[in-house]
């Protein structure tokens, strides 16, 4: 292990109550933007008949529904553990992401069918100027939201907010496609450009839904945290010469919470009290950087620990020795 420091540009994870405040604010903003854009686009589509605008309005409608799901999920996820959910409720965020992905798939199917029908049976688009103006308003509002969501994700790592942001990023693409499609339809007097733009939006929505499903499945299947976080957790655990090594090091995310367990190898002749103090120091180091962490650290005597860890695809899940401490022990 290298003794690298935490890069200053990577902020520490927030405490649970601070993360809850941020996610609550951003979900209110998401619901408000989704509802406003859905009503605005639907009203203009009613007069214009634009397929690409219909696609964008449907996308905004699903953004609104998904935002409501996220609004619920982030509040459930931070609820404390109870007798029936001893590990808390963090995975509510992943379930919300699955709902979001399903809605996007449904939207893509409906928009694709409508676009194909208009490709073969073009219908004139009216009020193109008003429709294009609505798209520019939508782009401005959505850009402001996704920028705010990116800041919240950076601080909270919320998978539900990531899924919600994926919706609005897709909305940006659909808005841009609608502007291009409406503009070309107006310039060429060929409504099929508008239908073609709607079809492109449908394909983009499918891609976004697959990305959201992948992210949610990683959490539901208890995938290890990313390599940077894993390396930092191990560095913090070993940042004490009295910690001789760790093994059975496992991690998983659950909404805003991180679960970490490990066996920590210590000097065999130490007393139980001395081992307890060393482990508490390790817990303090980890919780300072990763405050929303449920830590389980088991003490093992160095050289006498069990050997039943394996490597998976090159990932060091087995024994990790502290080089400095090990050389000191041998000396």
pLDDT in the model for residue 11: 45
What does the pLDDT look like over 33-81, one tens digit per residue?
Answer: 888 888 888 887 777 776 667 766 777 777 787 788 878 877 777 777 7
How confident is residue 266, by pLDDT bands cut at 50, 70 and 90?
very high
Say which residue, 298 or 17, is predicted with more confidence: 298
Using a cut of 0.75, tell me whether the model's pTM lies above it: no
Residue 326: per-residue pLDDT: 53
Structure confidence at residue 298 (pLDDT): 92
What is the pLDDT at residue 330?
A: 55
pLDDT tens figures, 237-248: 999 999 998 988
103-146: pLDDT as tens digits: 778 777 877 877 787 777 776 655 556 667 777 888 888 889 98
Model confidence band, residue 101 (pLDDT cutoffs 50, 70, 90) = confident
Please report the pLDDT score of residue 274 as a whole number.
Answer: 93
Q: Using CA atoms, how far apart are residues 45 and 61, in angstroms rounded to an integer?
A: 13
Query: What's the pLDDT at 238?
Result: 93
pLDDT value for 233: 93
Q: Residue 310, Cβ neighbours under 10 Å: how many?
A: 8
Q: How confident is the model at residue 286 (pLDDT cuts 50, 70, 90)?
A: very high
* Per-residue model confidence as pLDDT tens digits over 111-122: 787 778 777 777
Segment 317-329 shows an average pLDDT of 65
The mean pLDDT value for 281-304 works out to 89
Average pLDDT over residues 225-230: 86
Query: Residue 109: its pLDDT value, please?
Result: 81
* pLDDT score at 2: 39
Confidence (pLDDT) at 6: 37
Mean model confidence pLDDT for the chain: 77
Whether 234 has a pLDDT exceeding 80, the answer reads yes
Q: Is the pLDDT of residue 187 over 90?
A: no
What's residue 21's pLDDT? 75
> How much is the average pLDDT of 223-236?
88
């Amino acid at each position: 292990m290298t003794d690298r420091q935490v890069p200053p540009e990577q902020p520490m994870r927030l405490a649970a109550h601070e993360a809850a405040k941020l996610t609550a604010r951003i979900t209110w903003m998401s619901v408000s933007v989704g509802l406003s854009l859905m009503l605005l686009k639907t009203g203009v589509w009613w007069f214009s008949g634009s397929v690409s605008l219909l696609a964008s309005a449907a996308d905004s409608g699903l953004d609104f529904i998904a935002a409501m799901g996220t609004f619920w999920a982030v509040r459930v996820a931070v609820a404390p553990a109870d007798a029936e959910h001893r590990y808390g409720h963090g995975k509510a965020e992943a379930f919300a992401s699955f709902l979001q992905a399903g809605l996007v798939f449904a939207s893509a199917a409906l928009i694709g069918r409508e676009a194909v029908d208009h490709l073969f049976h073009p219908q004139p688009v009216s009020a193109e100027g008003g429709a294009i103006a609505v798209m520019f308003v939508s782009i401005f509002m959505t850009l402001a939201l996704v920028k705010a969501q990116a800041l919240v994700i950076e601080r909270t790592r919320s998978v539900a907010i990531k899924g919600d942001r994926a919706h609005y990023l897709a909305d940006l693409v659909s808005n841009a496609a609608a502007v291009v499609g409406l503009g070309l339809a107006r310039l060429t007097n060929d409504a099929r450009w508008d239908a073609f733009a709607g079809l492109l939006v449908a394909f983009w929505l499918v891609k976004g839904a697959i990305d959201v499903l992948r992210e949610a499945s990683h959490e539901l299947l208890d995938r290890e945290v990313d390599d940077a976080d894993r390396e930092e957790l191990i560095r913090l655990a070993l940042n004490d010469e009295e910690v001789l090594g760790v093994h059975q090091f496992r991690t998983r995310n659950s909404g805003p919470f991180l679960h970490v367990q490990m066996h920590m190898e210590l000097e065999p002749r130490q007393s139980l009290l001395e081992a307890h103090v060393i482990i508490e120091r390790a817990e303090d180091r980890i919780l300072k950087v990763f405050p929303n962490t449920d830590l389980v650290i088991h003490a093992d005597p160095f050289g006498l620990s069990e050997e039943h860890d394996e490597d998976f695809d090159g990932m060091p899940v087995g024994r990790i020795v502290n080089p400095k401490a090990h050389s000191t022990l041998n000396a």
